[in-house]
Amino acid sequence: MRFTLKALMAAVVVSALLCCVFFTLPAWLGLTLLAIFWLMAPAALIAGIVYGRGYGRAFSIGCVSTGGCIPFLWLYLAMTAIALLDSGEITLDEESAVPMKIGFGALFVLAGISGLVSMAVRWLSLRANQEPAVPQAPPYSVLYRRVTTVTDGQAPNA
């Protein structure tokens, strides 16, 4: 595989941001950033469906079909968690935030795998719809030891 410098830099930046959110930020800030990203992801994916072409559109369709309604579930869960935190029944420390961060990560991976499956289905369907190459007859004819050209629909001169 060959990578451009731009793609390599983007991969390093994304992995550094993910490590920052999952490992170094305080629990409340990391979960807030993950929730904001998850709530904004459907808008970006829908824009990818509308304005994207080819495999980008297929990836967006696959991701939205998996996780399009999940932000509403997360909004409900966030309101429930805020109510529990406000009542003092649970505390948000580093240990209790780890399962929540893992849950966010699992949802992101699930949506990404769904998008990749959608891209694979597009690739397979494009490959299946290709017409096989029909061998063409040569554009000349040999009659009576002489070579003449043949055009479509005409018989060679005898």
**Environment class of 141 (CB within 10 Å of its CB; exposed 0-12, middle 13-18, buried 19+):** middle
In a domain, 61, yes or no: yes
In a domain, 64, yes or no: yes
d(CA 109, CA 132): 37
Poorest-pLDDT segment among 18-32, 61-75, 143-157: 143-157
Tokens of 150: 């043949």
pLDDT value, residue 9? 93
Range of the domain at 95: 26-125
Count of the separate structural domains present in the chain: 1
State the helix-helix crossing angle for 70-87 and 27-51, rounded to 10 degrees.
160
In a domain, 19, yes or no: no
Q: Which tens digit of pLDDT belongs to each residue from 106-157?
A: 878 888 888 899 999 999 998 887 776 666 666 655 555 565 565 655 555 5
Q: Which has more confidence, 57 or 72? A: 57
∠ CA(80), CA(33), CA(44), 5° rounding? 100
Q: Which tens digit of pLDDT belongs to each residue from 40-63?
A: 888 888 899 999 899 989 998 888
pLDDT value, residue 42? 82
